[in-house]
Chains A and B, each alone.
Chain A
């Protein structure tokens, strides 16, 4: 089955700087890679996703890059703000599988 590793487990970034979270996956058949943001006490929210037919996707201050050859994908947050503080989870799947495989999460803290 699929295995997703996520790094780092914790990350502190000065407000205004950029943050990068990296994930690797094991199943070369995976073709869908979402990212979730979970604020304290709340549900995980889908913030961006990428499919294997593209290498990069951007939505305002967040972007995701995918390297299928190396089997890794990354979340980039630019111009970080205090409201970006949360736990972020990556995940991987292929469309023929009902289950998402999640990474273990990254706790991002933005330092004012």
Chain B
């Protein structure tokens, strides 16, 4: 069966510091991969998605970037965090149409 991992689970970072969040998927090959952000009490904002290694589509211009160095690995990065980057970051993978979410990383920027 398929499993999706995210780490770290929680993170507290100062404004202006860098960020690296990692997501890996097991049990499937060539998945579509997604990064979402959810502000407290809000909906799901799609940040990036990828249909293959090195292929990244950006949905919202911002100070974040994404990379897919391996088939089942998706990384979200920032060079300098802003206060507004705080939120719950969710990685997801899809097979045909069904989309499944990882456990998430709760990021607090102080």
B35 at the interface (CB under 8 A from A): no
Q: Give, as a whole number of angstroms, the nearest-CB distance from A96 to chain B.
A: 10
Given contacts A43-B104, A44-B44, A89-B44, contact A98 B98 (CB under 8 A): no
> Which of the residues A89, A93, A95, A100 comes within 8 Å of B43, measured between beta carbons?
A89
B60 CB–A CB distance under 8 Å: no
Interface string of B72-95 (1 = CB under 8 A from A): 000000000000000000100010
Interface size on A, residues (CB 8 A): 21
Is there an interface contact between A43 and B94, defined as CB atoms closer than 8 Å?
no
Contact A43 B103 (CB under 8 A): yes
Docked-complex contact B49 and A99, CB < 8 angstroms: yes
Residue contact A104 to B43, C-beta cutoff 8 Å = yes
From B42, B49, B90, B96, contact of A95 by CB (8 A): B96
Contact between B43 and A44 (Cβ–Cβ < 8 Å)?
Answer: no
Interface residues of B: mostly helix, strand, loop or mixed? strand
Number of A-B contacts (CB under 8 A): 45
Compute how far the CA of A89 lies from the CA of B43 in the bound complex, rounded to whole angstroms.
8
List of B residues within 8 angstroms of A43 by Cβ: 90, 101-104
**Is the CB–CB distance between B97 and A93 below 8 Å?**
yes
Count contacts on B: residues with CB < 8 A to the other chain.
21
Chain B hits for A49, CB < 8 A:
97-98
A99 & B46 in contact (Cβ 8 Å cutoff)? yes
Q: Which of B43, B51, B102 contacts A105 (CB 8 A)?
A: B43
Q: A102 contacts the other chain (Cβ, under 8 Å)?
A: yes
Q: B99 at the A/B interface (Cβ < 8 Å)?
A: yes
Q: In the bound complex, how far is the Cα of B46 from the Cα of A103, in angstroms? A: 12
- Residues of A near B7 (CB, < 8 A) are none
Once the chains are docked, how many angstroms separate the CA of A102 from the CA of B106?
Answer: 21
Chain A to chain B: the 10 pairs with minimum beta-carbon distance, closest first: A43-B101, A32-B97, A104-B43, A102-B44, A105-B43, A98-B32, A44-B101, A43-B104, A100-B99, A43-B103
